[in-house]
Amino acid sequence: MTTATKALRHFPWCAPGKCESRPETQSAEHYGQRLLLDAPDGMDMGPAYLLHAELYVDDRYKGTSLWLGTGDPDDDEAVLDGPQLDAFIARVTAFRDGLAAMRAQLDAKPTES
Ligand SMILES: [Zn+2]
C-alpha cells in the first residue's frame, strides 16, 4: 500500500527548485530568489557583493521573514519581519538619496569665498 503524499504548495515568490519538503515533520521550508547588491568595481572585499537578501518561511513557524546578510560568509544574517524591513528600506533609501546628492556634486568646481 502506498502512502499518498500531499503536494507541496508554494508561495508566489518561491524560487523554483529551492524549497524543501520535510516529510518527517510534515512541513516545508520555502526559499525565494536571492537578491544581491553587487560591490562596485575596485572594491576588493572577497565576495563580489555587499548585501544579499532572500525571503524564507518554515511553515511550522510564524510568517515569512527576510534574511539579510553581508558578503562575508562568516557574518551573521539578520532575520527581518515586515516592520523591521520597512525600517531598513528607509535607511537604504536615505543612503541612496545621499549617494544621488553626492553624484550631483561630483563635477562641482570650487567657488571663491
Ligand atoms: Zn516553495
3-state SS, one letter per residue, for 10-63? CCCCECCCCCEEEHHHCEEEEEECCEEEECCCCCCCCCCEEEEEEEEEECCCCC
64: in domain: yes
Q: How far is the CA of 31 from the centre of ligand 1 (A)?
A: 6
Q: Which pTM does this prediction carry?
A: 0.79
Task: For residue 47, tell me if it sits in a domain.
Answer: yes
Q: What's the 85 CA to ligand 1 centre distance in angstroms? A: 21
Report how far Cα 98 is from the mean position of its chain's Cα atoms. 22
Q: Is 27 inside a domain boundary? A: yes
Q: Please report whether residue 77 resides in a domain.
A: yes
Query: Is there a domain that residue 99 lies in?
Result: no
Q: Is residue 72 part of a domain?
A: yes
Say how many domains are in the chain. 1
Residue 104 belongs to a domain: no
Range of the domain at 69: 20-81
**Residue 9 lies inside a defined structural domain of this protein:** no
* CA–CA distance, 92 with 89 (Å, rounded to integer): 5
**pLDDT by position in tens, the chain (length 113):** 444 456 788 999 999 999 999 888 888 999 999 999 998 988 877 778 889 999 999 988 879 999 999 877 677 789 999 999 999 999 999 999 999 999 999 999 999 87
